Every structure is written in structure tokens, then in C-alpha cells.
Structure 1
Amino acid sequence: MSIARILALKGAEVFTTTPEQKLKEVAAELARRGIGALVVIDRWGEVAGVVSETDILAAIGARGADALEDSVANHMGRNFRFLTEKDTVDDAMETMTIERRRHLPVLRDGHIVGLVSIGDVVKYRIDTIEAERLALHQYIATA
């Protein structure tokens, strides 16, 4: 199954921030929206990275509450593999595992078209397993 299918099911809305925004503002936005990460867009409109709740906690753990005044640029994840809509769920799981990332931006022609989280991948896998279970149950019941 492709990443495009996950985006079709969950929606492709992506919430963003800038490298200059303060971590406290990002934390408030994450809490307000009930999400775990924002895609960081630079002044040229390109993906510069992802800032997650984990990044914020790591910053606070290292520097205390003063870290909340730091800019996103100092703490965001960067230089990691992006997904495309043609990538598979297995590709996403492998990348998330190897790179220890819970959120991966999805790009088309260099532009952000979605964000896939580990939760999205797990939900897809559970739904797939449940559909297979039901199909097997129906097959056995009619045999």
C-alpha cells in the first residue's frame, strides 16, 4: 500500500511553522491542535525540517524551561529522508525505524503534500490485519 492511500484516508492537511518561531509557541500550537509535530518551512517555502514534541522535551531536558525561548531552528530535526506518495507503508516503517523519526514529511515535486506519523502507519497496519482477519473468517464460514 502506498503513502498516497494513507494521505487519502487521513487527509493531507499539514501544519507548519518557521525556523524563527519560539519553542513555546510551537508547544502551544501542538497542544491546541492535538498533534505531535509541525513541518518547518523556510523563507523560500521549502521544507527545512520537522519539530516535534520530542524535540521540545529534549530541549527542556538539556536547558530547562529557558529552552522554550529558543528558536525552532536550534532544535528541529533536519537532514532526513522524505517520503513520496509512491513510497510504501513498509518504506515508511523502515525509514522511521532506521532514522528514529516518528513523523515524515511527504513531498511531491519538492513541495509538502502531507505528513505521515508512526500512528498513521500503525493504524493502517491494524486496519489491514483486521480486514484480512475478517476475510479469512468469511472464507472459513462459507467453506
Structure 2
Amino acid sequence: MTIARILAEKGRNVSTIQPHRTIAEVLQILAVQNIGAVVVTDSEGGVLGILSERDIVRALGRDGASALDDAASKYMTAKVITTLESECVSIAMEKMTTRRFRHLPVVKDGKLAGLVSIGDLVKFRLAEMEQQHEALKEYIATA
């Protein structure tokens, strides 16, 4: 299965911000939308970075409350690992597990096309395993 299938089910809506927005503004978005990360994009939808809850916690731990007034670009992860819609779910999971991050932007033609979380991938894999389990039970019952 591919990332495209997950996006087809969950949707392609991604919360984005511009790099000059403050950490306080990012926190507001995260809280209101109940999400764990935002993608920092340019005006054409190109991915500049990603800013997660972990990035913000590190910023606050390092710079204190003054970090809330700083630009998102100061604390974002700029070397973003991305995926393509055609990538297999298992490869995307491996990337996220070995590199220890929970959000993976999906790009198409150099533009942001979606976002998958480790939770999305695990949910998909569990559903896939359940289908395989049911198919096996049916096979055994009819054999």
C-alpha cells in the first residue's frame, strides 16, 4: 500500500504557517486544531520546514518564555524528510521510526501535497493486518 491511499482516506488538508509567524501563533494553531505539528511553507506551497511540539518544547527549554515571540523559522526543522504519494507505507514507517519523528510531509512536484503522522500509518497497518486475519479465518473455515 502507498501513502496516496492513506491521503485518499484521511484527506490532504495540512496546517501550514509562514516562517515569520511567532511560536505563540503556532501554539495557538496546534491547540485549536488539536494537532502535533505544522508545516512551514513559502508562498508557492514549497516546504521550508516543519515545527512540532517537540521543537517548541526544546525552544522553551533553551530560551525560556521569550521564545514565544520568536519566528517559527528560528526553531523549525529545516532539513525536512519528506515522502511521495507513491512510497510504500512500510518504507515511510521505517523512515519515521529510525529517524525518530512523528510527522512526514508528502510532496508532489516540489509542493506540499499532504501530511501523514505515525498514528495514521499505524492505524492503516492495523486495519491491513485485521483484513489479512479475517481473510485467513475465512480460508481456514472453507478449507
1:8 CA displacement: 0.5
Amino acid in structure 2 at the alignment position of 1:135: A
Q: Distance in 2 between matches of 1:45 and 1:105?
A: 12
Distance 1:46 1:138, change over 3 A: same
Pairwise mapping of residues 53-132 of structure 1 onto structure 2 (< 5 A)?
A: 53-132=53-132
1:43 CA displacement: 4.2
1:72 CA displacement: 0.5
Q: List structure 1 runs of 4+ shifted beyond 4 angstroms.
A: none
- Asked if 1:29 corresponds to 2:50, the answer is no
| TM-score after normalising by structure 2 | 0.93
2:16 maps to 16
Amino acid in structure 1 at the alignment position of 2:31: A
Contact 1:80 1:99 in 2 (8 A): no
Identity of aligned pairs, percent? Answer: 49
Q: Distance in 1 between matches of 2:124 and 2:109?
A: 25
Contact 2:45 2:112 in 1 (8 A): no
Q: Distance in 1 between matches of 2:43 and 2:108?
A: 19
Amino acid in structure 2 at the alignment position of 1:139: Y
Number of equivalenced pairs:
143
Contact 1:19 1:72 in 2 (8 A): yes
Give the RMSD, CA atoms, in angstroms.
Answer: 1.3
SS at match of 2:107: strand
- Asked if 1:140 corresponds to 2:140, the answer is yes
Deviations 1:27-75 (A, max 9, x none): 1101101111111012454210111111111111222222111110011
Moved more, 115-124 or 131-140: 131-140
